[in-house]
């Protein structure tokens, strides 16, 4: 989250895939950046809209009540697990609440607009998101991706190691960021142990950018 604050600038575009109530979106827009935020579950989407209203960010954010994947159509989702709502695996039965939501590829949803930073947190569905985002990921104007890789992809039969290697073939380096010292550390091909991995197209240029960022006060701490 500290990286989002230090990396983005007014006029940049941030894309939040799996926005939930918009924690990352609100931080991104605190920098003056604009955002497109995808949250497929209607009840959570309503909370996202409330959060944008409370923070007076409606003019900066384009909220999308839809899921993101490799194709267009519909996706069945578990809808009663709060921050861990997830796509239902094909053939699975679930006793709780499910619903069908619109599904689009990220490439088509962005319609040629290119973010500087994308955050992806979709409870193991990351492989599907990236499959529909090849044009976006291949554009050099996309400089950073924050992605949750904590083993959840195994529930869908996805190999997150393969996904991690794919990001590197696209020109991204896995890195770690310390917001207190504003230091970018290249992880030499390894995933972050935290579960969220920061992928940077140019770590050295990014280091220069974050070093020049304004200071932010978060809960009494200056970053």
Q: Which residues of the chain are modeled with pLDDT < 50?
A: none
Phi and psi angles of residue 49, each rounded to the nearest 5 degrees, phi first: -60, -40
Pair of tokens at residue 40? 């497929």
| Amino acid 50: pLDDT | 97
Q: Is the pTM of this model over 0.85?
A: yes
| Amino acid 77: pLDDT | 77
Domains along the chain with CATH numbers: 2-222 (3.40.50.150)
| Amino acid 91: pLDDT | 66
Select from 129, 118, 126 the least CA-distant residue to 153. Answer: 126
| Amino acid 208: pLDDT | 97
Pair of tokens at residue 146? 């924050």
In this structure, the dihedral spanned by the alpha carbons of residues 168, 172, 174 and 177, taken in order and rounded to 10 degrees, is 180
CB atoms within 10 A of CB 94: 15
């Amino acid at each position: 989250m500290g990286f989002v604050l230090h990396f983005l600038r007014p006029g940049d575009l941030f894309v939040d895939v799996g926005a939930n109530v918009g924690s990352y979106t609100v931080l991104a827009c605190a920098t003056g950046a604009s955002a497109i935020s995808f949250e497929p579950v209607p009840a959570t989407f309503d909370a996202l809209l409330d959060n944008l209203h409370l923070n007076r960010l409606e003019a900066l954010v384009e909220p999308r009540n839809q899921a993101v994947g490799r194709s267009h159509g519909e996706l069945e989702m578990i809808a009663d697990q709060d921050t861990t709502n997830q796509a239902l695996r094909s053939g699975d039965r679930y006793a709780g609440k499910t619903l069908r939501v619109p599904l689009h590829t990220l490439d088509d949803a962005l319609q040629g607009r290119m973010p500087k930073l994308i955050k992806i947190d979709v409870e193991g569905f990351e492989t599907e998101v990236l499959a529909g985002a090849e044009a976006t990921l291949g554009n050099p104007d996309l400089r950073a991706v924050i992605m949750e890789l904590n083993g959840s992809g195994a529930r869908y039969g996805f190999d997150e190691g393969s996904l991690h290697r794919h990001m590197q073939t696209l020109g991204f380096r896995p890195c770690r960021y310390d917001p207190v010292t504003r230091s970018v550390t290249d992880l030499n091909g390894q995933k972050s142990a935290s579960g969220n991995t920061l992928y940077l197209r140019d770590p050295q240029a990014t280091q220069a950018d974050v070093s020049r960022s304004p200071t932010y006060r978060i809960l009494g701490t200056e970053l």
